[in-house]
Structure 1
Amino acid sequence: MIHRFELKGRWTGGRNSQGTIKMDALDSDVSIPESMDGPGVGTNPDEMLLGAASTCYLITLAAILESSRVQFDSIELNSVAHVETDKGIPTFKEIIHDPTIIGLHSYEQTDAKIQRIFAKAESSCMISRAIEGNVKVTVK
């Protein structure tokens, strides 16, 4: 089965202008971030890639925990991206996920098993697989 996603975008002006993107639940202004000498309006590709990788990891982790019969209240995730600029060319280098399980009810679960689940979620995530070989993704 193939799932189709469609985005409509519009950009006006040059590099330091801004645009919009729209699709289903996503509707945002976009521009280059201030940290990269842009106007910093709305979101940007770096935030969106980090957001895609993080939400994919979070959903995949929840699904694997559920299939492993690990009961919990919630998952908190802090993700950080590192983008390196060399000679004016930005390159997305690394994403680091730092998940925390809140309210773990399955006390027989060992830290080692939870760590294996954390790693399995990263390797199973569709976005992690899509960027594999280009962006390093690690889990703390």
Structure 2
Amino acid sequence: MSEHHFTLQGTWQGGREGTGSIQTTGFSSTISIPANMRGPGEGTNPEELLLSAAASCYLITLGILLKKRNLPVQTIHLESEGIAVVDPVLRYDRIIHRPKIILQNPTNEQSGLALALAKDAEINCMVSNAMRGNVLFHVEPQVETVSF
């Protein structure tokens, strides 16, 4: 078994109204509690970061699956939505991925395969698998066709 290590450095000053920062090899940001949760709303927050991790993993996985099947993909657009609930404490409840896969002159079979792979990508995503059992995942894919 091979291991892959990821590191992050962070700082924080203050309590609920405080701010901090995080930095990884390819990312840095100010962090705070979101304004809609009675925080200062500066930079990003854990809720957005968790959604970003799930969405970017899903998007990359989908791209890999579509490429492996040699589908005529022009581009993939993704909107992902994270929903948190208080039940009785605040927790992430579900994430909905809404990929729009743009295919160039696909056959009906290719369009159907793209829709199926959109569902498979969530099952194969490392981040989704780490959260599964605690967070529900839904995929609402669309395929659009462009002609050249």
Aligned to 2:103: 103
Q: Cα offset for 1:121?
A: 0.3
- Structure 2 unaligned residues grouped into runs of 5+: 141-148
Aligned to 1:4: 5
1:24 aligns with 2:25: yes
Aligned to 1:125: 125
- Structure 1 unaligned residues grouped into runs of 5+: none
Aligned to 1:34: 35
Q: Distance in 2 between matches of 1:105 and 1:23?
A: 40
Normalised by the size of structure 2, how large is the TM-score?
A: 0.88
Q: Cα offset for 1:69?
A: 1.3
RMSD between superposed Cα atoms in Å = 1.3
Q: Deviations over 1:64-108 (max 9, x none)?
A: 001111121110001011011245x31100100000112334325
Q: How many residue pairs end up in the alignment?
A: 139
Q: Cα offset for 1:113?
A: 2.1
Letter of the 1:51 counterpart: S
Letter of the 1:100 counterpart: K
Q: Deviations over 1:17-55 (max 9, x none)?
A: 010001111110000000111100100000000000000
Q: Identity rate of aligned residues, in percent? A: 39
Q: Is the 8 A contact 2:62 2:121 kept in 1?
A: yes
Instruction: Report the 3-state secondary structure (helix = DSSP H, G, I; strand = E; otherwise coil) of the residue aligned with 2:22.
Output: strand
Letter of the 2:75 counterpart: S
Normalised by the size of structure 1, how large is the TM-score?
A: 0.93
Letter of the 1:96 counterpart: I
